[in-house]
Amino acid sequence: IRPENVRKLLLSFPQVMDYNLENHLKPIADYYISDVRFSATEFGSIVTRFPRLFSYSLFKIKHVTGFLRFELGLDATQVKRVIFQAPQIVGLNTEGNLQMKLDLLQTRLSLTRQELGLVLSKMPTLMNLGIDNNLLPKLEYLEKVANDTNHSGDVVKRMVLKQPTLLGYSLENRIRPRMEKILSAGLSADKVTVGISMVENKFQDWLASSQLRKQLKVDVQKNLHNASRSKMTYLEELLDMNETEVRTLLSTMPGLKYVRSNKMFERKVTYFNAELQNVT
């Protein structure tokens, strides 16, 4: 730990000096470095950001680490990521508040154990959020949007799996305003996973370009429909058939859709018409 960070540690948690060096402080440091495999620099970063780590027993720290590893099924790299990004997780009760948050996500989103571990490893700080005043209102809002916009039942699950950081943003200051703009632009609700992390000017640019792409797609589909209808009319007139007869013909000879550029086909039709008239 650099001298300036030692100073910061002592100012934010002076009680650290009350703990026994040999029996408490060093065993915790050794566990993080030797067992969890943090570098000395990484461990220094952890205690600088969360000096109260030393207020927990080594037994408690090992218990939470084991819970992440064996109960949630995270691999060693994922456990390191969780602890590094959210070191406060060691203070949570694995049978109380931590388990309640995990149960909420798993039940509400119908997550498998593997999917739950993936969400937690990608966004560990979710476990620092409250349930009633944070996680639950966000999930309820996203579920309501999904229902109101006739999305499939698992769309919120897919949103969270694709972008777990979504639940880390403020509902009133970020999620709701972005979602309303996305829906007003005629885009799908799940596009929030793309737009949520952008700074405002980038978000506005992305929104405008997305609207333009969607309109171009609609125009192309409309033109294709009109072109298809034009070909149908052309064949009806050329072959003196009704629409049903032309559709039956196209089902067996789909290449006839391109007869506008096939002058030989037109010559054949003209020839047969002339021959038939001569016969009659």
Per-10-residue mean pLDDT, the chain, length 280: 81 91 96 95 93 95 94 91 94 88 93 92 92 95 93 89 95 96 92 94 91 64 54 70 77 66 65 63
CA-to-CA separations, 20 to 7, 77, 253, 278, in angstroms, rounded: 19, 30, 88, 115
pLDDT for 119:
94
Longest CA pairwise span in the chain (Å): 115
Is residue 15 a contact partner of residue 53, using CB atoms and an 8 Å limit?
no
pLDDT for 275:
64
User: How would you label 182-197 residue by residue, b for 16+ Cβ within 10 Å and e otherwise?
Assistant: bbeeebebbbbbebbb
The whole-angstrom separation of Cα 142 and Cα 136 is 10
Predicted TM-score of the model (pTM): 0.69
